[in-house]
């Protein structure tokens, strides 16, 4: 690909990564439990996100990139359409309502929309048959099963915590337990952000990893490294900046508007998210950390009999339901506009 076009693609991928970072709510439990301030949460989350993207982002990128379209090579126009449509919907959801939508759903919807629409604008070999629906089904099952498991794990962990708290004597012992939970929460959230960085960066760079330019190695003197490292670094940096600059609003939504949290309840939710996202990332499964976290927060509220703000949960669920079709429609619209200019 020509250097200018490649540079533009990398810039757009950075913008998409920025949009993804703006919708990153991984640190919300620590803010809700008053363990971190919002400023501290976004600073730590941004740093860990970059590390996770570079070290763990390769496997998931292939799942939502080449695997979904049966190994076909996306054209430059298709890649532009997918990335731009993702960025539009993520930024709209983050900046207007602070809703934690699923970035994985964004890219799946965009890829499906562009691939199915492609034959209508002259691309051969594309269409419904170009989509590997088994991969799509695998991803959809992951979206459904992972929050269910997240709910059950969070409920089980917090039930054990509550049982332990009932056995302590005096307020001092209870405060000591909550202090220990706060330390544990910080550790698990760092782990979660590492896994989320590896999982979510795929949503920004997946269309790039199928390009020949990022297959093989890059040599700098005596040093050789996989070419895919370049988009991983760009994606991780974009996500970190998006979290720091815009992500505060989404963090506050889940920290304060779903259920009231203590360090111990936030820890139970974070243990669930960390375990599921870590395993999913290692297996190359494009899970939604947003789905898992919201389910885990509902679980700890249910166990502690703390009121859950169902109106906010309903708004989040609606945003999840409409994300795939909206992303597909945006992908089609952006591709049509791009081809119109060409």
Tell me the per-residue pLDDT of 159-169, one tens digit each, with 9 for 90 and over: 998 888 777 76
More confident residue, 74 or 335: 335
Residue 228 CB coordination number (10 Å) = 20
Quick one: tokens of 96? 């207007």
Q: In Å, what is the CA distance from 288 to each residue of 145, 179, 275?
A: 11, 30, 13
Residue range of the domain that includes 120: 3-341
Put residue 225 in one of left, alpha, beta given phi > 0 → left and psi -120 to 50 → alpha: beta
Strand pairing category for 217-220 and 223-226: antiparallel
More confident residue, 139 or 192: 139
pTM assigned to the model: 0.76
Mean pLDDT, range 187-201, rounded to an integer: 76
Tell me the per-residue pLDDT of 20-33, one tens digit each, with 9 for 90 and over: 888 877 788 889 88
Residue 121 has pLDDT above 70, yes or no: yes
Q: In Å, what is the CA distance from 197 to each residue of 22, 25, 187, 205?
A: 13, 12, 16, 12
**Residue located via tokens 């370049």:** 230
Put residue 294 in one of left, alpha, beta given phi > 0 → left and psi -120 to 50 → alpha: alpha
Tell me the per-residue pLDDT of 70-117, one tens digit each, with 9 for 90 and over: 878 788 788 888 888 888 988 888 777 777 787 778 888 999 999 999
In contact, 266 and 35? CB cutoff 8 Å: yes
Q: What is the pLDDT of residue 115?
A: 92
Mean pLDDT, range 170-176, rounded to an integer: 78
Mean pLDDT, range 164-187, rounded to an integer: 82
In angstroms, rounded to a whole number, what is the distance separating the alpha carbons of residues 302 and 288? 22
In contact, 108 and 324? CB cutoff 8 Å: yes
3-state secondary structure the chain: CCHHHHHHHHHHHHHHHHHHHHCCCCCHHHHHCCCCCHHHHHHHHHHHHHHHHHHHCHHHHHHHCCHHHCCCCCCHHHHHHHHHHHHHHHHHHHHHCCCCCCHHHHHHHHHHHHHHHHHHHCCCCCCHHHCCHHHHHHHHHHHHHHHHHHHHHHHHHHHHHHHHHHCCCHHHHHHHHHHHHHHHHHHHHHHHHHHHHHHHHHHHHHHHHCCHHHCCEEEECCEEEECCHHHHHHHHHHHHHHHHHCCHHHHHHHHHCCCCCCHHHHHHHHHHHHHHHHHHHHCCCCCCHHHHHHHHHHHHHHHHCCCCCHHHHHHHHHHHHHHHHHHHHHHHHHHHHHHHHC
In contact, 69 and 133? CB cutoff 8 Å: no
Tell me the per-residue pLDDT of 273-314, one tens digit each, with 9 for 90 and over: 888 877 876 776 767 777 888 899 999 999 988 888 888 888
Q: What is the pLDDT of residue 102?
A: 77
Quick one: tokens of 83? 């990335």
What's the total number of domains in the chain?
A: 1
Quick one: tokens of 107? 């890219």
Tell me the per-residue pLDDT of 7-60, one tens digit each, with 9 for 90 and over: 877 888 888 889 888 887 778 888 988 888 888 888 888 888 888 877 766 555
Q: What is the pLDDT of residue 68?
A: 79
For residue 224, report the phi and psi dihedrals to the nearest 5 degrees.
-125, 135
Mean pLDDT of the chain: 82
In angstroms, rounded to a whole number, what is the distance separating the alpha carbons of residues 228 and 218? 9
């Amino acid at each position: 690909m020509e250097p200018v076009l490649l540079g533009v693609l990398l810039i757009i991928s950075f913008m998409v990564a920025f949009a993804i970072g703006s919708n990153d709510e991984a640190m919300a439990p620590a803010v809700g439990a008053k363990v971190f301030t919002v400023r501290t949460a976004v600073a730590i989350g941004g740093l860990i996100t970059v590390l996770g993207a570079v070290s763990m982002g390769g496997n998931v990128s292939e799942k939502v990139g080449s695997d979904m379209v049966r190994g076909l090579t996306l054209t430059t126009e298709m890649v532009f359409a997918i990335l731009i449509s993702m960025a539009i919907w993520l930024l709209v959801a983050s900046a207007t309502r602070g809703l934690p939508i699923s970035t994985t759903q964004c890219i799946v919807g965009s890829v499906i929309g562009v691939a199915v629409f492609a034959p209508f604008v002259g691309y051969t070999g594309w269409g419904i048959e170009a989509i590997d629906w088994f991969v799509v089904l695998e991803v959809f099952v992951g979206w459904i099963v992972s929050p269910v498991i997240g709910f059950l794990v969070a409920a089980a962990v917090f039930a054990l915590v509550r049982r332990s708290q009932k056995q302590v004597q005096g307020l001092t012992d209870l405060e000591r337990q909550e202090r220990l939970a706060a330390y544990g929460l910080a550790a698990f959230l760092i782990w979660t952000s590492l896994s989320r960085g590896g999982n979510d960066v795929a949503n920004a760079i997946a269309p790039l990893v199928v390009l020949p330019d990022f297959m093989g190695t890059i040599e700098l003197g005596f040093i050789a490294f996989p070419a895919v490292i370049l988009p991983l670094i760009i994606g991780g940096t974009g996500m970190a900046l998006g979290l720091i600059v815009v992500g505060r609003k989404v963090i506050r939504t889940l920290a304060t508007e779903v259920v009231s949290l203590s360090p111990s309840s936030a820890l139970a939710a974070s243990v669930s998210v960390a375990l599921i996202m870590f395993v999913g990332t290692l297996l190359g499964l494009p899970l939604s950390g947003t789905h898992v976290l919201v389910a885990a927060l509902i679980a700890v509220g249910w166990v502690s009999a703390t009121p859950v703000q169902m109106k906010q949960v309903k708004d989040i669920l609606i945003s999840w339901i409409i994300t795939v079709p909206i992303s597909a429609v945006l992908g089609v619209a952006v591709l049509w506009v791009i081809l119109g200019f060409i």
